[in-house]
Structure 1
Amino acid sequence: MTVNDDSFTNWMHREEIAESMIPIIGKLHREQDVNVLLHSRSLVNKSVVSILKTHRFARQIAGEELIVTETMPFLRALTTLDLGPSQIDIGMLAATYRSDGRGLSVEEFTAEAVAGATGENKIERRASRDVVLYGFGRIGRLLARLLIEKAGSGNGLRLRAIVVRKGSGQDIVKRASLLRRDSIHGQFQGTITVDEANSKIIANGNEIKVIYSDDPREVDYTAYGIKDAILIDNTGRWRDREGLSKHLQPGIAKVVLTAPGKGDVPNIVHGVNHDTVKPDERILSCASCTTNAIVPPLKAMADEYGVLRGHVETVHSYTNDQNLLDNYHGSDRRGRSAALNMVITETGAASAVAKALPDLDAPITGSSIRVPVPDVSIAILSLRLERETTREEVLDYLRNVSLASPLKRQIDFISAPDAVSSDFIGSRHASIVDAGATKVDGDNAILYLWYDNEFGYSCQVIRVVQHVSGVEYPTYPAPAV
């Protein structure tokens, strides 16, 4: 047998193991509401090749590739436990077991590591929480995809309706088609049918009512069997408490805005300040995509090194707010063709930092340049630190933050020397640290932070909605504080 034959045989063996993982992961998800992760990446509904690629990607953050033969014993161990709703990271289980040194078996170690999700400690499965999408644009459709994806266990969040203005001719068919196919994010994973007679879109068995309205005050959601729902406003039309309060109609319990909130509306960045949301707060904002990209790494750097001041420059993909070709626009520069120009514009991300990190006593300034790409942006975060450090120390620290801290769902880490923006389409993290571009000189640090300003931000919005809905389940092994 040749070396090449050995490599191919090894690959086929890994394929076989990954294939056997799929029914175990699916059963844990459906029957026990357990989401199996690998270094914060969900393995639910993933293909054989996707599972193998996720294991392979571990080398970018942990320094070495994970092999399915290492993680499979931990997955099998989970099937022997009386688990409740939770997220369990088998990548972290394998990594921590490797360095444990107590001589425990895989089964003993796993039972100890996830003890908070078993037996008398486990959380009871809750009834699903109704969700309404107000608006069905770029963010709205991605939120719909995520909500449908997460409905697989029958618990958690349940998308009940979308509210839009009535369009001309086959409105619901066209909206369903936009949900089914996306030029950036690809095909919808599943089946979509349209019930025009009853104004419904059925996606993977989820019946979604399409409600037509020009005024949020005109909708009685209880008439559609919707109650105690979270309404996500992704239109950006209203941003203050007075405007967003129009959504608080019968059937709606809370309103979440997918844009920076104004006035006293709390701006929430999941992973940083979501625990500050008061139980009786009915209106809140998820801030902006850029705020979500810079605040988690800014907090991480401030916690470890202290920050005296900073500036963020965002190189941002163009959005629907810009003109495709030169035409009138209320903004000075956004009227120029988005597909042909780099456009200097403003960003509210820097000022929003104060709302998300009120204890950060450091001035943060910011500006933005829109560029001719349709998705994925990069934030260049330049910081003056309270103490001197080295590039190696900063990278080791941020790598560990991405692996084993409470911010590991927000901050990702990549060391690939040839990474470009399209590589991060579909990233579920709020921010990805580019190790190769990072610069540190004494007390000055410059971080290059990639982010999918559509999908990564939508994931952050869903996390906030899960939190305020009481369906955000704990992760095991518990991240280091």
Structure 2
Amino acid sequence: MAVLHGKYDRNANQLFVGDDAIRVLHERSLQSLPWRELGVDVVLDCTGVYGSREHGEAHIAAGAKKVLFSHPGSNDLDATVVYGVNQDQLRAEHRIVSNASCTTNCIIPVIKLLDDAYGIESGTVTTIHSAMHDQQVIDAYHPDLRRTRAASQSIIPVDTKLAAGITRFFPQFNDRFEAIAVRVPTINVTAIDLSVTVKKPVKANEVNLLLQKAAQGAFHGIVDYTELPLVSVDFNHDPHSAIVDGTQTRVSGAHLIKTLVWCDNEWGFANRMLDTTLAMATVAFR
């Protein structure tokens, strides 16, 4: 990162990446954004604030042709996509789409693989997530009492809607999946502990072989598989949605599977945002 001393001789309303200039806007109202003037085809709304159909329509009224939210949206959006699983359901008429969440993108492909192979009956998910912007640097006010505590000092349980995200993609699991989440004092990378009971008896090495083959085949680029002795920081800038840690796979009583899945919740998910944007453009503008 360059540090500038002295007078800045470039446009302060633009962000420069090499020779590419990106306009920086400061607008309170979505309707005031100059998407029409800029000729914007697809808006990637990564605010984390907006997510309703009304918000999407406001972007379109401002001149955008399509909107992709980087977070779970309301149920009346045109589609919710986990790339690698259901992007083929996108249609040209879909204008307002959600890319779900980083954790949903991580765990949905693994759940699908296990369900297709062994038939999932029920499951639990524990998300071990890095500290986030809504936590405190020092103990300070937050409406969630646990999040009043300094993020760098504690492992902090927080609410999660991941179970609802799972049943949005797999309605057959309604009331059969539960999820909890904890925030840990790291900068980046998430680990997800997935436990499922399955109908067919299975061994741990068979589960690993299934996931390894998927990573090399149908889910190449989305799911990866490793048996290296890695820790969270080793997955920084990994572009996959999910990296299965084969050393941590366990099977109890032939029907209870436990897996550990890693993801770079920033970089990996940003890659899926681009993939979904291209998929939306492909069906809309071909």
TM-score normalised by structure 1 residue count: 0.55
Aligned counterpart, 2:159: 346
Partner SS, residue 211 of structure 1: coil
Q: 1:203 aligns with which of 17, 39, 48?
A: 17
* 1:457 maps onto 2:272 in alignment: no
Give 1 or 2: higher helix fraction: 1
Letter in 2 for 1:443: H
1:283 Cα deviation after fit: 0.8
Post-superposition Cα deviations, 1:368-421, rounded to whole Å, max 9, x if no partner, equal: 01000010110000000111110111111110000011x2221110101x2110
Q: Which structure has the larger Rg?
A: 1
1:253 Cα deviation after fit: 0.6
* 1:380 maps onto 2:193 in alignment: yes
Determine the C-alpha separation between the residues in 1 that align with 2:174 and 2:137: 40
Aligned counterpart, 1:425: 236
Post-superposition Cα deviations, 1:263-299, rounded to whole Å, max 9, x if no partner, equal: 3223211011111223211111111111111101000
1:361 Cα deviation after fit: 6.5
1:215 Cα deviation after fit: 1.2
Matches within 5 A, 1:43-192: none
1:195 Cα deviation after fit: 2.6
Q: Does the Cα contact within 8 Å between 2:30 and 2:62 map onto a contact in 1?
A: no
Partner SS, residue 183 of structure 2: strand
Q: 1:320 aligns with which of 130, 133, 136?
A: 133
Aligned counterpart, 1:402: 215
Letter in 2 for 1:380: D
Gaps of 5+ in 1: 1-176, 182-192, 473-481
Letter in 1 for 2:156: V
Aligned counterpart, 1:217: 31
Letter in 2 for 1:282: R
Determine the C-alpha separation between the residues in 1 that align with 2:268 and 2:9: 28
1:249 Cα deviation after fit: 3.1
Determine the C-alpha separation between the residues in 2 that align with 1:443 and 1:251: 52
Aligned counterpart, 2:95: 282
Q: Does the Cα contact within 8 Å between 1:316 and 1:369 map onto a contact in 2?
A: yes
1:230 Cα deviation after fit: 0.6
Gaps of 5+ in 2: none
Q: Does the Cα contact within 8 Å between 1:256 and 1:284 map onto a contact in 2?
A: yes
Post-superposition Cα deviations, 1:300-326, rounded to whole Å, max 9, x if no partner, equal: 111111100000001111110111111
Q: 2:256 aligns with which of 436, 444, 448?
A: 444
- Select the structure with the greater relative contact order (CA < 8 A; seq sep ≥ 6): 2
Q: Number of aligned pairs?
A: 278
1:355 Cα deviation after fit: 1.8
* 1:243 maps onto 2:58 in alignment: no
* 1:253 maps onto 2:65 in alignment: yes
Partner SS, residue 382 of structure 1: strand
Q: Does the Cα contact within 8 Å between 2:130 and 2:185 map onto a contact in 1?
A: yes
Determine the C-alpha separation between the residues in 1 that align with 2:87 and 2:207: 26
TM-score normalised by structure 2 residue count: 0.91
Matches within 5 A, 1:220-235: 220-223=34-37, 226-235=38-47
Partner SS, residue 244 of structure 1: helix
Instruction: Quote the sequence identity (%).
Output: 28
Post-superposition Cα deviations, 1:449-468, rounded to whole Å, max 9, x if no partner, equal: 01111111111111111100
